[in-house]
Chains A and B, each alone.
Chain A
Amino acid sequence: DGGITQSPKYLFRKEGQNVTLSCEQNLNHDAMYWYRQDPGQGLRLIYYSQIVNDFQKGDIAEGYSVSREKKESFPLTVTSAQKNPTAFYLCASSGERFYGYTFGSGTRLTVV
């Protein structure tokens, strides 16, 4: 079955640590996205990539980094510079612009 796999489902980070969230898709989609969701708020775009080896900042990129070395993979690193990282992180992909996004099941990151 085609889809997007995010791992881990739950992640705990200590102050000052970098952590990496995994996102893998087997849909052969060109574009991939990372969103952050806070309680009671909508999704906010962190980074997106429309092609391998290229990515753009979204609205809240500060404190985050990404890479796109393979079409299937778009990992997100939450760096120590992100002061309020506790949130639900969602990865998405799209093949054709007019058919919507396919989302992963999310990673819940908590700072301990």
Chain B
Amino acid sequence: SQQGEEDPQALSIQEGENATMNCSYKTSINNLQWYRQNSGRGLVHLILIRSNEREKHSGRLRVTLDTSKKSSSLLITASRAADTASYFCATDGHFTGNQFYFGTGTSLTVIP
């Protein structure tokens, strides 16, 4: 399976701290995406990084991609209680067309 794996499975931090979560995957990819899911809701697309990119920013989010290590990280700076959610990475592959494979997610709790 090409499914990515997020690490850690759960993370609890104080408001204002930074949160870092990681994603590892198994085969070569074209694109990697990060999504947020609030409890019982659908996923919201956060950011997409292509295989030829190493870093991308969007507001308080910073995503890095290391294709040599087959890993990506998502950094949320100055976290807020509203950032409490599960975060998933999703990867496609050279031979999977438009299919993206999702990891099992990191559950982030930001304590006010």
| Those of A27-45 within 8 Å (CB) of chain B | 31, 35, 40-45
User: Which B74-98 residues sit within 8 Å CB-CB of chain A?
Assistant: 88, 90, 97-98
A104 to B98, Cβ gap below 8 A?
no
How near does chain B come to A92, taking the closest CB pair, in angstroms? 8
Tell me if A102 counts as interface (CB < 8 A to partner B).
yes
Shortest beta-carbon distance from B104 to chain A in Å: 4
**Is B112 an interface residue when CB atoms closer than 8 A count as contact?**
no
> Does the CB pair B42–A94 fall under 8 Å?
no
> Which residues on the A side are within 8 Å of B97 (C-beta)?
50
Within 8 A of B (CB), among A16-30: none
State A97–B93 Cα separation when bound (angstroms).
12
Given contacts A101-B43, A106-B40, contact A43 B98 (CB under 8 A): no
Q: Interface extent on B, as a size class?
A: 20 to 34
Query: Which B residues from 1 to 57 make CB contacts under 8 A with A?
Result: 1, 3, 31, 33, 35, 40-45, 48, 50
Closest Cβ–Cβ distance, residue B27 to chain A (whole Å):
15
Known: A97-B98, A100-B35. 8 other contacts (CB 8 A): A4-B42, A31-B98, A41-B104, A48-B99, A98-B48, A99-B45, A101-B43, A102-B45
